[in-house]
Homo-oligomer: A and B are copies of this chain.
Amino acid sequence: MRGWDLEVTAANRPAPGYAEISCKAPQAVAALPGQFFMLRAGEHPDTYLPRAFSWYRQEAPDRLSFLFRVQGPGTRHLGGLRAGDHLYALGPLGHGFTLPERPVRAALLGGGVGVPPLWGLARNLLAGGSEVLALIGARSGAHLVGAEEIAALGAEVRLATDDGSAGRKGLLTDLLEGEQVDALYACGPEPMLRRVQEISLGAGLPAELALEAPMACGYGVCMGCVVERTRPQDELGDYGRYARVCREGPVFRAEEVRF
């Protein structure tokens, strides 16, 4: 973890309501897939706290991008940045995805704004000789992000949309039916993560989930971002009931989390 002043090199809108900002980033900003940064820009009263974002693409060693959906004041301000503007980034933060020790066939599930951390994961899995099946979902075809970029890495990509306007109509997890995979990695809305957890527990298939939680600090000092654990850490008694998403997570093994 360190604070970085990043210069924006490009900003675009890959889908309605989404923004991708690319930055010039020193090589030292090395981040593992699933790790995140706390970003802030501007000084609007509503953006006093920084906001958490997974890193998305690293197309050159000195580039880093973030992909996000505009939801409120924080993302509105970040989404308004243009090339030449600066943003403040704290990171890399948290505990990312675990890569398998030997090559596997892995399914990566990304729902909506959950896609960003999967780009780096797909890249690293493929580099390690694994096969990657990337399942990407969105409300409609127009809202799909990241599919082409992940396909370009060499992953097999399948799509699902709520309205059937691209790929299969229905739940992203339905795309798993009939697939033979050794591991699941998922990031997306909570209902989707619950479903992945069920599948993982039901099939005894190892799964990692990248979680979100409202955060204040992002580096472990505020205790704001907790998620309930299935098994409290015994030596800490009741205290162990909650884990920090920013420090023990954001990536957890599916069986660790109580939704």
Contact = CB atoms under 8 A, between A and B. Distances in A.
Contacts of A45: 43, 45, 48
A102 interface: no
Interface residues of A, number: 5
A44 interface: yes
A16 interface: no
A84 interface: no
A42 interface: yes
Interface in A134-176: none
A93 to B, nearest CB: 26
A42 B43 CA distance: 8
Interface string A240-259: 00000000000000000000
Interface in A43-66: 43-45, 48
A192 B16 CA distance: 59
Interface of A: 42-45, 48
7 contacts: A42-B43, A43-B43, A43-B44, A43-B45, A44-B44, A45-B45, A45-B48
